């Protein structure tokens, strides 16, 4: 553990930033950007975010553009590194068999004298404003990638987080969910369909993703519209909520055996609510989510005028451009 602190703190706060190595890494990242261009799922998601949030920083590619990466020089990179990667900006998380006092001492010694004051570059980020958009975009790929989702101001109440977790699991994040059962198992409209959540410090996002052949796209859109309408009309019942709660608790029990998962959970909760919930407390929060809580979440957020939609990837997809959600 002492060696790990020495190596990681050297990387995080004392890197040499050798010019030759920077050029090598830039070439690697440009290749990574090229690989994303060959992935219809990733390209579609990038376009979905850009259409939802415009030029806001959260809509930008994680990798950046190839031209931007090529233009980076050592001076600019070093300035970013020294202003952002300071102890004041860092979180140290550890999970496993260790002594807490020893870890605190190692962290203090490893980061001592490496700039404790926060030197912020630029202004704090503002929350993105959603831009309503429904788009059908042709490209060279053989399948259609479908994204439908909402963006909303994040409620920092941890109970709201667990309600959204149970809702999304029941509706689209498991094989017993409504989306999977109706759109794939019963109607065979697609191979992949699921919902997922994304949380930032100030905004939340809930998205449904599916892909289909061009021939099935119209039917898939109609079926998704029908399931969202049914969700509004027929709230998730107690059995569906209980299945979701059991699924989530089971996943938490399994993840306790994985130290990396536990470490990431510490960081995620610290970033979201600035405290860490013990395992038993998290389980109680999940089990306390009632069907009425989920119904309230749906009434607040699941509205046709709140949804953005992107169908992307296959030539001819634009023929569905007249589609609109009806619920």
Give me the tens of pLDDT residue by residue for the chain, a chain 327 residues long.
889 888 888 888 888 999 999 999 999 999 999 998 899 999 999 999 999 999 999 999 988 999 999 999 999 999 999 888 888 888 889 999 999 999 999 988 887 776 544 444 445 678 899 999 999 999 999 999 999 999 998 877 888 999 999 999 999 999 999 999 999 999 999 999 999 999 887 899 999 999 999 999 999 999 999 999 999 999 999 999 999 999 999 999 999 999 999 999 999 888 888 888 999 999 999 999 999 999 999 999 999 999 999 999 998 999 999 999 998
State the Cα–Cα distance between residues 139 and 42, nearest whole angstrom.
Answer: 13
State the Cα–Cα distance between residues 9 and 87, nearest whole angstrom.
Answer: 10
Residue 73: how many other CB atoms lie within 10 Å: 10
Number of helical (H) and strand (E) elements in the chain, helices listed first: 13, 5
pTM of the model: 0.89
Residue 275 DSSP label: S
Question: How far, in Å, are 94, 182, 257 from residue 260 at the CA level?
Answer: 9, 35, 9
Burial of 248 from C-beta contacts in 10 A (0-12 / 13-18 / 19+): buried
How high is the pLDDT of residue 155?
Answer: 76
How high is the pLDDT of residue 120?
Answer: 43
- Residue 207, strand partner residues: 149, 196
CATH 3.30.830.10 residue spans of the chain? 2-111, 134-320
Residue 60 DSSP label: S
Residue 216 DSSP label: G
Which 3 state secondary structure label does DSSP give 221? helix
Fold designation for 134-320: Cytochrome Bc1 Complex; Chain A, domain 1 (3.30.830)
Q: Which CATH class is domain 2-111?
A: alpha beta
- DSSP H or E stretch at residue 294: helix 291-301
């Amino acid at each position: 553990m002492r060696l790990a602190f020495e190596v990681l703190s050297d990387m995080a706060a004392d890197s040499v930033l050798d010019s030759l190595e920077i050029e090598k890494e830039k070439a690697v990242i440009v290749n990574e950007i090229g690989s994303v261009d060959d992935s219809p799922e990733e390209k579609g998601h990038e376009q979905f975010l850009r259409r939802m949030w415009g030029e806001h920083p959260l809509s930008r590619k994680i990798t950046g553009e190839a031209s931007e990466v090529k233009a980076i020089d050592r001076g600019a990179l070093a300035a970013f590194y020294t202003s952002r990667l300071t102890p004041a900006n860092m979180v140290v998380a550890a999970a496993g068999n260790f002594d807490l006092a020893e870890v605190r001492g190692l962290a203090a010694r490893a980061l001592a004298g490496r700039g404790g004051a926060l030197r912020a570059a630029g202004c704090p980020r503002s929350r993105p404003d959603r831009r309503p958009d429904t788009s059908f975009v042709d490209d060279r790929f053989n399948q259609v990638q479908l994204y439908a989702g909402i963006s909303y101001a994040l409620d920092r109440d941890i109970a709201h987080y667990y309600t959204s977790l149970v809702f999304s699991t029941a509706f689209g994040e498991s094989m017993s969910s409504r989306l999977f059962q109706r759109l794939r198992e019963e109607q065979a409209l697609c191979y992949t369909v699921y919902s997922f959540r994304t949380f930032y410090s100030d905004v939340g996002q809930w998205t449904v993703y599916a892909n289909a052949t061009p021939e099935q796209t119209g039917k898939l859109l109609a079926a998704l519209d029908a399931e969202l309408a049914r969700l509004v009309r027929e709230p998730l019942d107690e059995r569906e909520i209980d299945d979701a709660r059991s699924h989530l608790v089971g996943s938490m029990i399994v993840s306790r055996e994985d130290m990396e998962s536990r470490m990431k959970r510490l960081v995620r909760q610290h970033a979201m609510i600035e405290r860490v919930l013990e395992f038993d407390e998290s389980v109680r929060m999940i089990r306390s989510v009632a069907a009425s809580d989920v119904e309230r979440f749906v009434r607040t957020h699941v509205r046709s005028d709140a949804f953005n939609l992107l169908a992307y990837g296959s030539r001819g997809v634009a023929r569905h451009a007249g589609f609109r959600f009806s619920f």
